[in-house]
Amino acid sequence: MRERGARAPEAYPVITKPGMEITWGELHVGSRDVFADARFTGVNRPTLRRVVMRIDF
């Protein structure tokens, strides 16, 4: 991404919690933990189950 000029890619993952039921296909956008492990940080929380995450180059 960086090599092609991206400055701040964003993702809109689902917030998961242990024991919380997730319907099939809901995780196609990924989970917050996966993006946090990749050093994305949360910048906004538009709903209870979604977070906007960004990594600045």
Task: Give the CA distances from residue 26 to residues 2, 6, 16, in Å, rounded to whole numbers and listed in that order.
Answer: 28, 26, 10
Looking at residue 27, its pLDDT comes to 84
Looking at residue 35, its pLDDT comes to 95
The number of distinct structural domains making up the chain is: 1
Decide which of 24 and 50 is more confident. Answer: 50
Amino acid at residue number 15: I
pTM of the model: 0.79
pLDDT tens, residue by residue, 32-53: 999 999 999 999 999 989 999 9
C-alpha 9/C-alpha 52 separation (Å) is 10
Looking at residue 5, its pLDDT comes to 84
For 23, the domain range is: 2-54
